[in-house]
Structure 1
Amino acid sequence: MRSLAGVSFIVLAVVVVAGAASARFVDPPDADVPAGTHPLQIGRFAVLVYNLNRGAKLKYVGVSNSDRHPHQGGVRYKMVVTAADASGATAQYQVVVWGIPGTFQWMLLEFKKIN
């Protein structure tokens, strides 16, 4: 685990817990975007990694304002993720994820509450 400007991130390179999650994104065969680039999967990944890193218990609700662009041999995704806490209260988070679609190389770079 490393810290970048006060924001911690980890590299999820293998299945975290049996049956819980895998960092390899697989898209439906009829997808109209490149494999591994669906904002829904990236948003779920961000919440999962944040929960594992911080011991939080957020639940993924949705994603909006998704943007992606090539960055250092992979793709950098910036989006707003909505997540709910244990009481059901929702909040929005600015999320930045870098990864290489179709691989296990993914990093959560930023997960910051915006409201």
Structure 2
Amino acid sequence: MFTIADFTGQEESDIEDLFPREKYAELLNEAYGLKAKNKLTAEQLQAADTKTQRVVKQAESAFRTMPAEVEEFDHFAPSGWLIRNPAFLDAKDDDTATALDRAEKLFVTFNALLEED
């Protein structure tokens, strides 16, 4: 049996944890149009909830402290934005490469299970 944690190197993980913190913060900033003082960083996500490694839980905590004009966090919003903006994953940076490598490892692992007799 596999969990997402097997592909992230964390004790606990959700699918969002395939993204390194900084890349997920960037995704949140884009998906929610966060600018200036509301723009999130990896450090802010981690500081928002130090009791968990799960970036979704950290994002939930971070969004609870946002001003009222910022849309409430919904963990489907970043994935919806990503589907509409796939070029986000075309970036040539280490965090994007890490996210794509983790996703590839996940799919290779599960595809291999389908091939077993």
Bigger radius of gyration, 1 or 2?
2
Instruction: State TM-score, norm by structure 2.
Output: 0.28
> Normalised by the size of structure 1, how large is the TM-score?
0.28
Higher strand fraction (1 or 2): 1
